Chain A
């Protein structure tokens, strides 16, 4: 329903009003034989203002609101052309030898002006509504004024009727269709128009007189609301404390009290949070410090033992000790790296790295042990002319060592571990494949988890190795992937970005 108002395109509004004018003209044409020519002309001339009303309440507001006046003038002119043309051509058709009087013709041509006046009134009403929406004191003013209007309208209308005493139904009326039309055009409409005009004028006068009073009275009532709003804005800007009471005990005073309580609660929670934040930060810092201290405390003695062992003479027991110390060193390094990754403290220095060097170096050093301990063969399959990877040299070594150690642990005696490296144009792809027992598909997603160890595994290892691989590779903007065929072996893939 609401969409019917002020929603039509200009051509649509003009058409609608023309249709209404046409419909209203039909009774005049039907009755024209029994109606005098001046009455007929007056009736036709009156159709223009009626059409103007339809047009004004149908036409939508200027869509882009850039030039409202031009839009309204253009639309009103278009309407005036149509309604004027309609009224004048109707008059010409039923001329019957008598020319229409000048005022009648002027009325017939007044459609556009009437439309502009009505549109102006609609615009003013909208602006007034906007004002009321923005300001509570204006809303109160409107409420007071509407009481004035509600009282003034019937009183002034009744008074005007009594004063003018318009003769709507003349004496000796014969109730034929033609005389009803004549009565409406010649008596009812002029009479009503005169009465309504006087009544509207008087009401308007009453409203204009009442406006200052209504305004003053409204302002008195809204002053406390304005103070409350000012205090709330100040509260938002950080001003404390929020004034708790005014002298009244009404809903506004209640609202003020509630805001005061809320502000106090907000301050309490904020303070608590801030304290917790400081505590957390202190805890975090102390953990960093602990990590650094612990790392040195553990690494230094091991390094000292390792150095001491190197200086002793060669002996099988010493070799064992040396090997165990080296394993301990690697393990400690892994544990602390992982802990640093977790607290985001790991310093990575990404640089162009030749993975061929890393792989070859590691395989050279691990291959003899792999054969000696487990009869596992290690082979490499590296594409020639491989581009450099963007990675941290030390961390990348750690990653590859862990992958190789994990693969060795999975592989049964007599098996094979293959390290291959190739590129797909965008990334470097390094694969470590083994011929171990493989991983069941349902276990595969968990191999990267901390402390994960394969089921029925008698293998040594902390279960941290693959977690470290994943964390480090992802920290170097790479990806990891694990595939496996149970009974045949597994394949661990890492992808690293090319350097440059």
Chain B
């Protein structure tokens, strides 16, 4: 699959997404955890959006970087740091994002 298609998919449908305590509204660029609005940067939102679209599915860092950082300014280190920031903002729910073999991330599939 080429990159344009993925980008469209990641940003595409305006439907509300819900996974465990997280609710994401693409049309308003809003993410709430337990009803509390999170203050997310653009890449953080895009990354979380991608993960929420495919709960349980693993994405490797290079792929996340390619899809989320369209302008190609990212690196695997940037992906790692962004994930850490999102986890911090999720607070007690940070475990919902898990690392897979140190090479990628996914939303825990058992929510």
Contact = CB atoms under 8 A, between A and B. Distances in A.
Given A377-B103, A379-B103, A435-B106, A489 B62 contact: no
A435 to B, nearest CB: 4
A418 B58 contact: no
B66 A435 contact: no
Nearest to B63: A414
B19 interface: no
A265 interface: no
Contacts of A60: none
Contacts of B106: 435, 488
B109 A487 contact: yes
Interface string A405-430: 00000001111101000000000000
Contacts of B61: 377
Contacts of A488: 56-58, 106, 109
Interface string B39-60: 0000000000000000011111
Given A371-B62, A375-B63, A435-B106, A415 B101 contact: no
A376 interface: yes
A412 B62 CA distance: 14
A377 B60 contact: yes
Contacts of B26: none
Nearest to B66: A375
A416 B58 CA distance: 7
Interface string A372-411: 0011110101000000000000000000000000000000
Contact of B57 (A374, A381, A435): A435
A371 B56 CA distance: 21
User: What is the size category of the interface that chain A forms with chain B?
Assistant: 10 to 19
A435 B100 contact: yes
A416 B64 contact: no
B85 interface: no
Given A371-B62, A376-B60, A488-B56, A413 B100 contact: no
Given A381-B101, A487-B109, A435 B63 contact: no
Given A371-B62, A375-B63, A375-B66, A416 B104 contact: yes
B63 A413 contact: yes
B29 interface: no
A490 B3 CA distance: 26
Interface in B8-51: none
A479 B32 CA distance: 49
B62 A487 contact: no
Contacts of B66: 375
A412 B103 CA distance: 15
Interface in A340-379: 371, 374-377, 379
Nearest to B5: A413
A375 B1 CA distance: 8
A29 to B, nearest CB: 98
Contacts of B62: 371, 375, 377
A224 to B, nearest CB: 87
A121 B92 CA distance: 102
Contacts of B93: none
B109 A415 contact: no
B6 interface: yes
Given A377-B103, A435-B106, A487-B109, A415 B60 contact: yes
A408 to B, nearest CB: 13
A371 B62 CA distance: 9
Contacts of A415: 57-60, 104
A375 B67 CA distance: 11
Contact of B58 (A371, A374, A381, A414): A414
A418 B101 contact: yes
B100 A416 contact: yes
Nearest to A376: B60
A45 B38 CA distance: 123
Nearest to A375: B63
A436 to B, nearest CB: 9
Contacts of A485: 109
Contact of A435 (B1, B6, B58, B67): B58
Given A377-B103, A379-B103, A435-B106, A412 B60 contact: no
A411 to B, nearest CB: 9
A416 B60 contact: yes
A414 B101 contact: no
A375 B7 CA distance: 14
7 contacts: A375-B1, A377-B62, A413-B6, A418-B103, A435-B104, A485-B109, A487-B109
Given A415-B104, A435-B104, A488-B106, 5 more contacts: A381-B101, A414-B104, A416-B104, A418-B101, A487-B56
Interface of A: 371, 374-377, 379, 381, 412-416, 418, 433, 435, 485, 487-489
Going nearest first, the 6 A-B pairs with the smallest beta carbon separation are A435-B58, A414-B63, A377-B60, A414-B59, A487-B56, A375-B63
